[in-house]
Structure 1
Amino acid sequence: MRFKLLRRRLTISAPRMKVRSAMPWPLRCAGAAIVLGFCAAIGLWAFELGKDIAGVDRVAKEELARLREEVAGLRLERDRVQSIVNTSSSALTAERAAQERLAAQVRTLEAQNRALREDLGFFEKLIPASGTEAIAIRGLKAEVLAGTQLKWQVLVIQPVKNAPEFRGKLELSFSGTLDGKPWLMALPGGPQTLQFRQYRRLEGMVDLPPQAVVTNVSTRMVEGSVSRAVENLTL
């Protein structure tokens, strides 16, 4: 048996043998990493050298510089346009405010003009029509508002110097048609009591019946039982 084993080891039929290095595996890994890093460095150097030879890197840098200059120019143009827009907006706002102020002033002047015209008409009515007139009704006005309301105004005067105090009443009546038929209505609340020396202005609002059409307004000044003045207004 021992002879057979010894012969098997010394002849061709002996088992295969492996020769292994005595270097530890960490050293082998470190060596492989060094080799791979060296190869990568060579590859990067070759890539950069190829870019330099082809001029790719130089063109890219020039293009980048040009683009940066264009961006800077566009920013300056944007700032300039924005400044112009802000200035224009401020000018438009100021102009709009000025127009609104002018419009308000125009409305105020128009209102003052109307008031002056009314005052002028009022004082013109104070001028006596004749030297013998003792009391008069002037400026009778009436206007239908919103279809069912009527606004009236009347001025009564004594166009004489040092006129005595007048004590009486003002009667006001409205006539026209209601549903196609003749219609007459006195001032609601009855005649208005008057007491004045030189002049007195009266006005008021009257609610009209539905479907009423006012065609005439009549007013009369009464002192005691004597009618002193009468005025009619046709609408």
Structure 2
Amino acid sequence: MRWKLLRRRLTISAPQVAIRSSMPWPLKWAAVAIMLGFWAAIGLWAFELGKGLAGVDTGIKDEVIQLRAEVARLQAERDRVQSILNTSGSLMTAERAVQERLLAQIKQVEAENRALRGDLGFFEKLMPAAAAETVAIRALQAEVLPGSQLKWQVLVIQPIKNAPEFRGRLQVSMDGTLDGKPWTVELPDNGWQDLRFRQYRRLEGMVDLPAQAVVKNVSAKVVEGAATRAVQSIKLGA
């Protein structure tokens, strides 16, 4: 009988027995949380320790410092190159402006030289091998401009080849009416202008006129010593 009871307890058909702990469930959860935190702390400590032993964190910091220094050096180099470029650009602009002014002056001088050569060739063609007159007035011009001004121009030549230097004086005069009365003015400044040249000489001037003045004639006279060498007059207006 006892053997049957013992065998029944040891076999599958034996009755189930439930074993229950006497610890409350809040304490169980608290214990589990403490264990998880403990193992997490151990894992984090192991990770930091391994990273420190491997030198990963220190290497990254060193690389960051080196990269920052390199960036600062490159920025300084960029600023230096930019400054050099700006200075070079200013110098090139100034040099270009100087070159343009010089080219403009050269072109102007060349144009004047061509005009002088043309005038000289034209006058040489007009000059005979020998002439009775030694000085002649050519191309006397005068024009009344807006603003009560008179512009005059006169060309004096020696119509002979290889002419010696002429030394004399030139006087330009104009006559007309002022306030309805006869009016005469000698230029420049009521006097004479020294005249020295070999082949030809062009002279011009500007005169301010009184408000009520009307110029009718303009005359030019060239004298040498006490002798009058050339005289020419033109009429203005209708």
Q: Which structure 2 residues correspond to residues 151-230 of structure 1 after superposition, within 5 A?
A: 152-161=152-161, 170-174=170-174, 185-190=185-190, 192=192, 198-199=198-199, 201=201, 203=203, 205=205, 207-209=207-209, 211=211, 218-221=218-221, 228-230=230-232
> Which range is displaced more, 178-187 or 155-164?
178-187
Aligned residue in 1 for 2:92: 95
Are the counterparts in 1 of residues 156 and 200 from structure 2 also a CA contact under 8 Å?
yes
> Relative to 1, partners in 2 of residues 1:192 and 1:144: Cα closer, same or farther, differing over 3 Å?
same
> Relative to 1, partners in 2 of residues 1:212 and 1:166: Cα closer, same or farther, differing over 3 Å?
farther
> Which range is displaced more, 152-161 or 142-151?
142-151
Among all aligned residue pairs of Structure 1 and Structure 2, give the percentage whose two residues are the same amino acid: 27
Distance in 1 (CA, whole Å) between partners of 2:115 and 2:155 is 12
Residues 147-190 of structure 1, C-alpha deviations (whole Å, 9 max, x = no match): 67766553312202476997876442346897999976332444
Matched, 1:72 2:69: yes
Q: Which structure 2 residues correspond to residues 10-21 of structure 1 after superposition, within 5 A?
A: none
Q: How many residues align?
A: 187
Aligned residue in 2 for 1:81: 78
SS in 1 for 2:160: coil
Q: Give ranges in structure 1 of 5+ residues lacking alignment.
A: 1-48
Distance in 1 (CA, whole Å) between partners of 2:68 and 2:180 is 84
RMSD: 5.2
Distance in 1 (CA, whole Å) between partners of 2:168 and 2:186 is 17
Distance in 2 (CA, whole Å) between partners of 1:230 and 1:186 is 14
Report the alpha carbon displacement of residue 55 of structure 1 after superposing the two structures with TM: 2.9
Distance in 2 (CA, whole Å) between partners of 1:88 and 1:116 is 41
SS in 2 for 1:160: coil
SS in 1 for 2:70: helix
Q: Give ranges in structure 2 of 5+ residues lacking alignment.
A: 1-41
Report the alpha carbon displacement of residue 137 of structure 1 after superposing the two structures with TM: 1.6
Aligned residue in 2 for 1:126: 123
> Relative to 1, partners in 2 of residues 1:113 and 1:195: Cα closer, same or farther, differing over 3 Å?
closer
Distance in 1 (CA, whole Å) between partners of 2:69 and 2:213 is 79
Report the alpha carbon displacement of residue 210 of structure 1 after superposing the two structures with TM: 5.1
> Relative to 1, partners in 2 of residues 1:178 and 1:200: Cα closer, same or farther, differing over 3 Å?
same
Q: Which structure 2 residues correspond to residues 24-103 of structure 1 after superposition, within 5 A?
A: 52-53=45-46, 55=48, 61=58, 64-103=61-100
> Which range is displaced more, 146-155 or 75-84?
146-155
Q: Normalized against structure 2, the TM-score is what? A: 0.50
Distance in 2 (CA, whole Å) between partners of 1:165 and 1:65 is 92
